[in-house]
Amino acid sequence: MLARALTEEIRPDYTMDQPYFRYTGTDHAVWRQLFERQGALLQGRACDEFLSGLAGLGVAKEGIPQFDRLTEALMKATGWQIVAVPGLVPDDVFFRHLAARRFPVTWWIRKPEQMDYLQEPDVFHDIYGHVPLLMNPVFGDYMQAYGEGGLKALKLDALNYLARLYWYTVEFGLIRTKEGLRIYGSGIVSSRGESIYCLDSPSPNRLGFDLLRIMHTGYRIDTFQKSYFVIDSFDELFEATRPDFAPYYEQLRREPQIPSGAVLDSDRAIHRGTREGWDPRPDA
């Protein structure tokens, strides 16, 4: 059918219309299960900014949301938009979208047998994990600045350093509140196992945020983290990343990588991990 073929066209910037007609009953059921499971778990674990962003977006448990509806709420709150993409996009494309306050979201959802683990981001990770914080003005500005910083890092051949910052903040960040440590990282909030492990397990380190230290630190994408970095506020994160990173990258090139499980004398350790049950394979 011509109309169908047209709606699934992938544009040069990798965006496409969300092919809503392609979602099956099973797809929506997977969404419902993930949504309900995380909702119950994240009370008292996720930070208030995440929980209020989620509520404000009107993302519901009924089924996979229509991206255009979410964009309406986002636009009003912070001027962000959601764009549908087929999956991971090239780095330069990703950064250009972020710099223009467009968040690329993978349209498809995982299979029922992948409820607990998935190698690549799907619509649940991208929407539930990332979009609620885009309702927050400071975090929204941070993400845009990150996109601009990404384009610059590409030119300076320094993306490996900047990618670690994304990993340890946007994907796996913790934040300190009066009530205790809370989660804001999207890779955690979209994972049942890690949303418990990151706060409750004695194994991993929980270390105070330190920009250069983070950009020095390796990471593994296939297990729970060995170290989490804790910010005190989104303002702290945004302010720390304001300076020109070019001199930082030069410094980083001269120093060796820090293994993901290491604790240094200079670290502000909130919790020094017991390393119980750690996988001995080295960092990427």
Interaction between residue 184 and ligand PHE (CB under 6 A):
no
Of the candidate residues 32, 69, 152, 220, the single one contacting ligand PHE (CB under 6 A) = 152
Closest contact distance (angstroms) between CB of 216 and ligand PHE is 15
Based on CB atoms, which residue is closest to ligand PHE, 178 or 242? 242
Q: How far apart are CA 228 and CA 104, in angstroms?
A: 25
Of the candidate residues 16, 77, 115, 145, the single one contacting ligand PHE (CB under 6 A) = 145
Interaction between residue 103 and ligand PHE (CB under 6 A):
no
Q: How far apart are CA 198 and CA 206, in angstroms?
A: 9
Of the candidate residues 80, 94, 146, 167, the single one contacting ligand PHE (CB under 6 A) = 146
Q: Which does 259 bind (CB under 5 to 8 A by kind): ligand PHE, Co ion, none?
A: none
Based on CB atoms, which residue is closest to ligand PHE, 44 or 243? 243
Q: What residues from 160 to 179 belong to the interface with ligand PHE (CB under 6 A)?
A: 165
Based on CB atoms, which residue is closest to Co ion, 186 or 225? 186
Closest contact distance (angstroms) between CB of 85 and Co ion is 12
Q: How far apart are CA 109 and CA 32, in angstroms?
A: 11
Interaction between residue 210 and ligand PHE (CB under 6 A):
no
Beta-carbon contacts of 84 under 8 Å, excluding residues fewer than 6 positions away, are 15, 16, 17, 18, 19, 67, 104, 105, 107
* Binding track, positions 186-215, relative to Co ion; x by CB under 5 A: x-----------------------------
Based on CB atoms, which residue is closest to Co ion, 30 or 105? 105
Based on CB atoms, which residue is closest to ligand PHE, 240 or 269? 240
Interaction between residue 247 and ligand PHE (CB under 6 A):
no
Interaction between residue 245 and ligand PHE (CB under 6 A):
yes
Q: Count of CB atoms within 10 A of residue 48's CB? A: 13
Of the candidate residues 113, 179, 200, 244, the single one contacting ligand PHE (CB under 6 A) = 244
66 near 20, Cβ under 8 Å? Answer: yes
Based on CB atoms, which residue is closest to Co ion, 27 or 171? 171
Task: Report the greatest alpha carbon distance in the chain.
Answer: 64
Closest contact distance (angstroms) between CB of 172 and Co ion is 10
Interaction between residue 276 and ligand PHE (CB under 6 A):
no
Residues forming contacts to ligand PHE in the complex (CB under 6 A) are: 142, 145-146, 149, 152, 165, 241-245
